[in-house]
Amino acid sequence: MTMYFLQAEPIYVISFEEVFWGALLVAVTMAIHAFGMLMVLRINFYLKSRLDKKTGLMAGLIPIMFASCFILLIHLIEVIVWAAYFYWEGAFPNISIAYYFSLNEYTTVGSKFSLPLQLRLLEGIISSAGLLAFALSTGVLFRLATTFLEKPRKFLGKSNKSFQ
Instruction: Give 74-98 pLDDT, tens digit per residue.
Output: 999 999 999 999 999 999 999 999 9
Does 76 map to a domain?
A: yes
Q: How many domains does the chain have?
A: 1
pLDDT tens-digit map of 56-75: 666 667 788 889 999 999 99
Lowest mean pLDDT across 79-83, 117-121, 135-139? 117-121
Q: Does 107 score more than 90 pLDDT?
A: yes
Task: Say what the pLDDT of residue 46 is.
Answer: 85
CA distances from 132 to 12, 30, 84, 117 (A): 27, 8, 20, 25
Q: Per-residue pLDDT averaged across 120-142, rounded? A: 94
Residue 86 lies in a domain: yes
Q: How many CA atoms lie within 13 A of 38 on its CB side?
A: 6
Expressed as residue numbers, the domain containing 48 is 16-151
Q: Which pTM was predicted?
A: 0.80
Q: Would 59 be classed as within a structural domain? A: yes
The mean per-residue pLDDT over the stretch 34-45 comes to 93
1 domain-assigned: no
